[in-house]
Structure 1
Amino acid sequence: MKRNFFLALTLVWSLFFSVGALAQGEAFVPVRNAIRASSSRELADFFAPSVELSFDGDKQSYSSTQAEFVMRDFFAKNSPASFDFIHYGGSNEGTPYAVGKYQGKNGAYSMFVKMKAVNGSMKISTIAFTKED
Structure 2
Amino acid sequence: MKRNLFLAFVLVWGLLLSVGALAQGEAFAPIRNAIRGSSSQELAEYFAPTVELSFDGDKQSYSATQAEFVMKDFFAKNTPASFDFIHYGGSNEGTPYAVGKYAGKNSAYRMFVKMKSVGGAQKIGTIDFSKE
Range of TM-score over shorter length: over 0.9
Residue 127 of structure 1 aligns to a residue whose secondary structure is: strand
The size of the alignment, in residue pairs, is 132
Identity of aligned pairs, percent? 80
Distance in 2 of aligned mates of 1:67 and 1:12? 42
Q: Which residue of 2 aligns with 1:27?
A: 27
Q: TM-score, normalised by structure 1?
A: 0.97
Query: 1:59-98 maps to which residues of 2 (within 5 A)?
Result: 59-98=59-98
Residue 35 of structure 2 aligns to a residue whose secondary structure is: helix
1:93 maps to a residue whose letter is E
Post-superposition offset of 1:116 = 1.2
Residue 93 of structure 1 aligns to a residue whose secondary structure is: coil
Q: CA contact under 8 A between 1:27 and 1:122: conserved in structure 2?
A: no
Distance in 2 of aligned mates of 1:25 and 1:19? 10
> Which ranges of structure 2 fall in alignment gaps of 5 or more residues?
none
Deviations, residues 49-69 of structure 1 (Å, cap 9, x unaligned): 000000001111000000000
Distance in 2 of aligned mates of 1:56 and 1:129? 6
Q: Report the RMSD for the aligned CA atoms in angstroms.
A: 0.6
> Which ranges of structure 1 fall in alignment gaps of 5 or more residues?
none
Q: TM-score, normalised by structure 2?
A: 0.98
Deviations, residues 49-107 of structure 1 (Å, cap 9, x unaligned): 00000000111100000000000000000000000000000112110000000000111
